[in-house]
A and B are shown apart, each in its own frame.
Chain A
Amino acid sequence: MEFLLSGQLLVAALIIGSIYGLVALGLNLIYGTMRLLNIAHGDLVMIGAYTGYWLFTLAAISPVLAMLAAGALAGLTGAALYFGLFRRQLTGSQPIERIEANSLLIFFGISIIIQNLTALAFTASPRTYQALDTLVRIGEVSIAQSRLVALAVCLGLSAAIVLFLRFSALGLSIRALIQHRTASRIVGIDVDRVQAFPFVLGLAGTLIGVTEQISPFMGFPFTIVAFVVIILGGLGNLAGGIAAGMVLGLIETYGVALTSANLRSVLIYGVFILVLILRPEGLLQRRRLT
């Protein structure tokens, strides 16, 4: 059991956790403000991963730069979906429950389309590339540069977004929106601005793509994880979501180390089912603003 104290394991957990936190942050903002159940969330991550892959493979552009392009692409895709498909619905007269249920099915269709278009364009075969693979030693821990960059970017970006939303006027109105679920359509203008946030998914996607295999179907697990994280952390609770991402990273890494890698999916889906059944409104739910 000595290996449990390994710094290597802890760093692995922190990296996964910080990625989860950032990916979930995007979903938290979109779902929190608009009640659109974005099943295609993880597919934007996948788009980011492919962007990084192609820019590196074809033009030898470092993932550090590629992630900006990936962010832009994911942001554009997210915005296009919103303005093309959902804005009219949100500002229309349908009851919010109906929009929620429909948005889920529509996003499911979008997800299938994005995945299979990608498979058609780039084949469904997994890809890997060797970038930023210099090893960095910190004490007894040896870690590839790419993963170190992922950790730093995810943590830094998450913190920056949380601080920005806490101290800016836009942030205040967004958080107010999240608290009053039916108000979103009334102040549609603020919701429009939230559309910029999927850019973090493209960014995260590039970083994930350097460290794991890339495939058209890699995104879905991140959607599931993002749901778990925002439910654990509390809807609209951005800092709570980042903490919950870390918790899930720790559960996954140490859970797998203690049992078996075979049980990873059982673990993730088990937590998913439990939180949905026990507290669909979130475990770390903050008290409502009064």
Chain B
Amino acid sequence: MKKFVGVLAASALAAAAWAAPAQAAEVRIGYSIAKTGLFAPAAPSQINAYNLWAEQVNARGGLDLGGKERRKVKLIQYDDQSNPGNAVKIYEKLITQDKVDLLLSPWGTPHHFAIASVLERHKFPMIGSTASSVQLRNMKPGNIWFTTAAVADKLATAMVGLLQTAGVKSVAVLTNQLPFGQENKKFLMPALKAAGIEVLVDADYPPNIKDMTAILVKVKAAKPDGVIGLAYPGDSILYINKAREIGIAAKFQYLLVGPAIGFFRGMFKGAADGIVTLGHWSPHGDNARSKAFYAAYKKKFKQEPDYLDSVEAWVSVEILEQAVAKAGLDKDKLRQAISTGTFDTIIGKVRFDGVQNAVTPTGFLQIQKGELHVVWPKDRQTAPLAPKTGWK
């Protein structure tokens, strides 16, 4: 029997290994993403950007490998079910079993954070996208970078600037327990205090919160000028529903992640007008790459790109492509190229300082008449900030 079980195990493992042939014809690029689960509503924005890029690269004749040859790319995607623990296992699998040539990033800060140690262990460089983490920045890892300008400490400063412009003197701060929200809060609170903006309500809540009544009843009673919802997509939806039901009348209402996704505006129509959210990109500038990206995305997917997530994902592959063109697929050379290079992207030139984008300024978007406009920083704004007037 022992022998039987041994044979069974060996053959099953062999079958598993057989599923991962080492092909030289294509550059195999792997990633995992929240195709299902809590974060799934946000993931298509990023997947679309990846697929569009792969299509364009292959149409160009393939990925330029250090100027020596061009090879077509093949994306290998897994569903991590919104579970960071699964992402850890999948990236380990992509590296050790599927033996991919390159990695793309998953969706969201928790997943980026979780896989950082896998990347370190295997010394495998990966450019992050829809994430940022001061905690990780302080640990100085060498194989992950964040394209976004939305880092918690920079965001806090920008937010205070925006609040002062809007004449907001008191706020309620509602924070999702997930890392990005919490980190934002950690830097925002002292910044608010220093600016003399009073915090009337300070409430944390779990990622899978079902009912916000208790929190919003407090907010309504406190009558703040502004509501700062450090929210993710699911709870952003919940907030709009509940704030409308209870009648939150603050003139400034901000939701961290969610409103930039296309379906959000469609779902709430007029009720979402006036909501401010995170984002620093707009198709209206004079960046040629940016215009080309916007047109191609709209043509292929019949909808606008997500101004935050599609953009960050696109920037990450733009950088990867340019770094590989310089360094090829060798991991050490690639790491070197990414950390020291300057790259042309749809958000302008990007260069990294440690894990962080050292160039792009932090910004905010607002939904106005169903369209997203950059309202901060002032020198990039496509429309001035407007107060939120009711829920229509």
Residue of A nearest to B38 (CB): A126
Residue of B nearest to A136 (CB): B245
Query: Could you say which of A154-162, A172-180, A254-262, A282-290 contacts chain B?
Result: A254-262
Give the CA-CA distance A8 to B36 in the complex, in Å.
34
Give the CA-CA distance A125 to B79 in the complex, in Å.
12
A205 to chain B minimum Cβ distance, whole angstroms, is 14
Q: Return chain B residues, CB-CB under 8 Å to A265.
A: 206
Give the CA-CA distance A261 to B214 in the complex, in Å.
8
- Residue B40 CB within 8 A of the other chain: yes
- Residue B194 CB within 8 A of the other chain: no
Residue of B nearest to A129 (CB): B267
Q: Which one, B204, B220, B221, B237, contacts A261 given CB within 8 A? A: B204
B168 to chain A minimum Cβ distance, whole angstroms, is 21
Q: Mark B183-214, 1 if CB is under 8 A from A, else 0.
A: 00000000000000000000111100111111
Q: Return chain B residues, CB-CB under 8 Å to A142.
A: 245-247
Q: Return chain A residues, CB-CB under 8 Å to B37.
A: 124-125
Within 8 A of A (CB), among B24-54: 35-38, 40-41
Q: Return chain A residues, CB-CB under 8 Å to B244.
A: 135
- B214 x A257 contact (CB < 8 A): yes
- A143 x B245 contact (CB < 8 A): yes
Give the CA-CA distance A126 to B41 in the complex, in Å.
8
By size class, the interface of chain A is: 20 to 34
- A261 x B213 contact (CB < 8 A): no
- B245 x A12 contact (CB < 8 A): no
Within 8 A of A (CB), among B216-262: 217-218, 220-221, 234, 237-238, 241, 244-247
- A119 x B209 contact (CB < 8 A): no
**Residue among B35, B212, B218 with the highest chain A CB neighbour number at 10 A:** B218
Q: Return chain A residues, CB-CB under 8 Å to B246.
A: 8, 142
- Residue A264 CB within 8 A of the other chain: yes
Give the CA-CA distance A92 to B328 in the complex, in Å.
70
- Residue A201 CB within 8 A of the other chain: no
The verdict on A125 contacting B41 (CB below 8 Å), with A213-B210, A257-B217 known, is: yes
Give the CA-CA distance A213 to B238 in the complex, in Å.
8
A114 to chain B minimum Cβ distance, whole angstroms, is 16
- Residue A182 CB within 8 A of the other chain: no
Q: Which one, B204, B213, B234, B241, contacts A260 given CB within 8 A? A: B204
Give the CA-CA distance A9 to B19 in the complex, in Å.
56
The verdict on A128 contacting B217 (CB below 8 Å), with A12-B211, A16-B211 known, is: no
Within 8 A of A (CB), among B357-380: none
B265 to chain A minimum Cβ distance, whole angstroms, is 14
Q: Mark B79-123, 1 if CB is under 8 A from A, else 0.
A: 001100000000000000000000000000000000000000000
B20 to chain A minimum Cβ distance, whole angstroms, is 25
- B40 x A125 contact (CB < 8 A): yes
Q: List 21 A-B contacts (CB under 8 A).
A: A2-B221, A3-B221, A6-B217, A9-B214, A9-B217, A12-B211, A12-B213, A12-B217, A16-B211, A124-B36, A126-B38, A126-B40, A128-B241, A135-B244, A212-B210, A260-B203, A260-B204, A261-B203, A261-B206, A261-B214, A261-B215
Interface residues of A (CB under 8 A from B): 2-3, 6, 8-9, 12, 16, 119, 123-126, 128, 130, 133, 135, 142-144, 212-213, 253, 256-257, 260-262, 264-265
Ranked 6 nearest A-B pairs via Cβ: A125-B40, A261-B205, A124-B36, A257-B214, A12-B213, A3-B221
Q: A125-B36, A213-B237, A262-B205 are in contact. List 6 more A-B contacts (CB 8 A).
A: A3-B217, A125-B37, A253-B213, A260-B204, A261-B212, A262-B177
